[in-house]
Amino acid sequence: MIIPRGQTTYTYDETTGSISSIKAPDGDVLAFTYDGFLSLDSTWSGNINGKVSRVYDNNFRITSRSVNDAHTINFIYDNDGLITSAGNLSIAHEALNGLITNTGIDNITATRDYNIFGEPSGYTAAFEGIDFYSASYTRDKLGRITQKVETVEGVTHIYDYVYGLTDRLKEVKKDGAVVSLYQYDANGNRLSATRPGLEINGTYDNQDRLISYGDYTYTFTDNGELTSRIDTTTNSTTTYQYDVLGNLMAVTLPDAAVIEYVIDGVGCRTGKKVDGALVQGFLYKDRLNPIAELDNAGNVVSRFVYGSRYNVPDYMIKGGNTYRIISDHLGSPRIITDTKTGQIVQLIEYNEFGIILSDTNPGFQPFGFAGGIYDQDTELVRFGARDYDPEIGRWTAKDPILFAGGDTNLYGYVQNNPVNFVDPNGLLVLYFGGGVAAGVGYKVNPGDQDSITFFSGTVTEFYGSNRSGGISNGNFFTVGTGRIVGAAAGGGALAGINFGDVEDLSECGSSAGLLVGPFSFELTLDGGGHSITGFSFGFLNKGIGLGLFGQETRTWTISN
């Protein structure tokens, strides 16, 4: 593939047809090894050098993951396939529904509570039995959080949230006083943000591109990527450069410092340069989540272990010490604490859209609002495919999958409802809720059509742009109504099974199917089109006639 910044070269295994390596335009190479369809090793070479390896059990579950043939983290599962330990982190589940109730590592424990719908209602973290963080959530009949009571080191604050008729966040109170007011136009563009002593107004063009916001003016490419931000009070300019694939490649700051990013062959941001010198690198466990942070010499300085959450690690190993990452319900790190001594080494506070209000130790770990990768220089948060600007509450580029992301505004962040939704890959909205695991169970989606989901395998979180069920591995099928099939056939019910590789994120997948009146059948193929990785059967669809359909899609599966 040839683009203006160079050529991307793909090589394939002659036997299986799987991608064996990808050479990016800057010469960096990402290579893969497999055991059948299971991804064993991912190896980076070039600007970033490192290797991530995986070992699987007979159920295709990852039992260990290592970095550079060392630093092995083991994973243990119970008879229901639920993860019970990730490295030194223990994870306990409710016996009847599989929801995570407790986690523990060294002297740090954390407990979770849920309401009758399986939605998180409370979280408490303690050191040697003494609470240092707690949060409780009150929800309305639509499942939206209307109040959060948060206590950090003995100091309690109460946050109240008010939403408009379209679910957009409208008002925020802290301890009874209004701290934020938002107004939007019909398509979700923020017209004004009012905070104590400050009102900021925004203007937009007919493509929802930002023209001005407060004292800043903005320009965009014809393709919709942000190219400049100008401070009209100082006439200082920040410029942005993208490649044709939508990757943010460079940012020039007002002081003339140049920030450049290293992008690997699958689009992951693996490195950061300042004025041409590498200052930071990342190795990834999958398409979204870093497993290790590297310094400018390529040495591993931090390792991250994921167990109870999919978009932010539970703990970090750095400088020979282990640190528990205490995150809020969105995955935003709030407190970083030494697991043995209880010393708090970093405390971060955000506003509702992710603006950092305070940070006691900037840069100690790389994660920011909702678990994204935070860049201190640009103040942008990287989520998979795009960069998010908390100040304006928008993406800096249009959604690469356009309207398939579920929003008519291609720049909108989670439909202006950041208290209840996250978007870890920059492509879709994820809804936080409960779930069931280990056999058979159900979830009623509050405020949406109902669905019943039967599982075999491992369920970690419920997520999906239509508030559906999500699994980390195993098989599933869903029966429901409303928007489950909506995009394909206008509504109805769906049944299916997925038995693909949950770790192989390096290939494109494809599907083909048949639609006959109220019935549909679809096969999902691997990236090379050589084997079937899943199928679905739809019925009770609203449609007439006979048609053939097919699609090409990139699979972004989130796994433990």
Which tens digit of pLDDT belongs to each residue from 346-364?
Answer: 999 999 999 999 999 999 9
User: How many domains in the chain?
Assistant: 2
**pLDDT exceeds 60 at position 494:** no
The answer to whether residues 383 and 293 belong to one domain is yes
| Structural domain contains residue 64 | yes
The answer to whether residues 467 and 543 belong to one domain is yes
| Structural domain contains residue 560 | no
In this predicted structure, what is the pLDDT of residue 389?
98
Task: Single out the residue of 171, 121, 112 nearest to residue 149, CA to CA.
Answer: 121
Instruction: Give tens-digit pLDDT for 18-63.
Output: 999 999 998 999 999 999 989 999 999 999 999 999 999 999 999 9
| Structural domain contains residue 513 | yes
Domain that holds residue 17: 2-422
The answer to whether residues 396 and 442 belong to one domain is no
**Domain limit, last residue, from 363, 391, 422:** 422
**Domain limit, last residue, from 422, 448, 476:** 422
Q: What is the DSSP code (8-state) at residue 379? A: -
The answer to whether residues 13 and 96 belong to one domain is yes
212: helix, strand or coil: strand
The model's confidence at residue 518, banded by pLDDT at 50, 70 and 90, is low
Instruction: Give tens-digit pLDDT for 101-147.
Output: 999 999 999 999 999 999 999 999 999 999 999 999 999 999 999 99
pTM score of the predicted model: 0.78
**Domain limit, last residue, from 394, 422, 450:** 422
Task: Single out the residue of 397, 389, 345 nearest to residue 369, CA to CA.
Answer: 389
The model's confidence at residue 271, banded by pLDDT at 50, 70 and 90, is very high
**pLDDT exceeds 80 at position 491:** no
| Structural domain contains residue 482 | yes
The answer to whether residues 142 and 187 belong to one domain is yes
The answer to whether residues 395 and 446 belong to one domain is no
Name the residue with higher pLDDT: 480 or 430: 430
| Structural domain contains residue 559 | no
Region 369-375: mean pLDDT is: 97
| Whole-number Å distance between alpha carbons of 348 and 336 | 9
Task: Single out the residue of 59, 40, 33, 15 nearest to residue 499, CA to CA.
Answer: 59
Record the tokens describing residue 408, joined without a space. 């008519």
Name the residue with higher pLDDT: 157 or 484: 157
**pLDDT exceeds 50 at position 554:** no
Q: Which range scores top for mean pLDDT: 198-212, 450-464, 466-480, 499-513?
A: 198-212
The answer to whether residues 340 and 442 belong to one domain is no
The answer to whether residues 16 and 109 belong to one domain is yes
**pLDDT exceeds 50 at position 387:** yes
In this predicted structure, what is the pLDDT of residue 544?
42
Task: Single out the residue of 88, 134, 90, 97 nearest to residue 116, CA to CA.
Answer: 97
| Structural domain contains residue 133 | yes
The answer to whether residues 441 and 405 belong to one domain is no
Task: Single out the residue of 53, 49, 43 nearest to residue 21, CA to CA.
Answer: 43
| Structural domain contains residue 123 | yes
The answer to whether residues 22 and 60 belong to one domain is yes
| Structural domain contains residue 430 | no
| Whole-number Å distance between alpha carbons of 457 and 305 | 21
The answer to whether residues 358 and 388 belong to one domain is yes
The answer to whether residues 407 and 528 belong to one domain is no
Give me the phi and psi of 405, to 5 degrees please. Answer: -75, -10
The model's confidence at residue 427, banded by pLDDT at 50, 70 and 90, is confident
In this predicted structure, what is the pLDDT of residue 474?
38
**pLDDT exceeds 80 at position 483:** no
Give the range among 142-156, 310-324, 388-402, 442-456 with minimum mean pLDDT.
442-456
Q: Which range scores top for mean pLDDT: 289-293, 401-405, 486-490?
A: 289-293
In this predicted structure, what is the pLDDT of residue 537?
55
